Amino acid sequence: QVQLLESGGGLVQAVGSLRLSCVASGRIDGEHAMAWFRQAPGKERVFVAGITWSGATRYNTDSVKGRFTISRDIAKTTVYLQMSGLKPDDSAIYYCTRARYSLVSQDLGAYNYWGQGTQVTVYS
């Protein structure tokens, strides 16, 4: 079993910044990619960014357009999502997730462990 615990969400004014953290515990073997998804009210959960344990990254470029950066600290088994230039459209619950495999995918079904989520609200 793997447990994922997100933190760092909150209320922020537009163009502000937040850093989300996700601490992984349990059976961590360094062979699975990690990612962030988000879900706004009434909308589907969508891929935001992902990272392999070797450090390769992938982004949903349409939505984040260089404003978000995903990183990881292997020693702390923690994945971060640095968000800057936030917009009201970024408001959502952000979920940390672990992939079934080592590569990052934008497909929801490629992930089998999920955190509880952390709320991000951006106001103008």
Report which of residues 25 and 18 the model is more confident about: 18
Tokens of 88: 């009201």
DSSP element (H, E) containing 30: none
How would you class 50 by CB atoms within 10 Å of its CB: exposed for 0-12, middle for 13-18, buried for 19 or more?
buried
| Residue in 19, 18, 13, 16 with CA at minimum distance from that of residue 123 | 13
- The per-residue pLDDT for range 84-124, each reduced to its tens digit, is 999 999 999 999 999 999 999 999 999 999 999 999 999 99
Q: How confident is the model at residue 63 (pLDDT cuts 50, 70, 90)?
A: confident
**Does 1 have pLDDT greater than 90?**
no
Measured at the CA of 92, the angle between CA 60 and CA 123, to 5 degrees, comes to 110
Q: How confident is the model at residue 43 (pLDDT cuts 50, 70, 90)?
A: very high
Return the percentage of the chain with pLDDT > 70, whole number: 100
φ, ψ at 67 (rounded to 5°): -85, -25
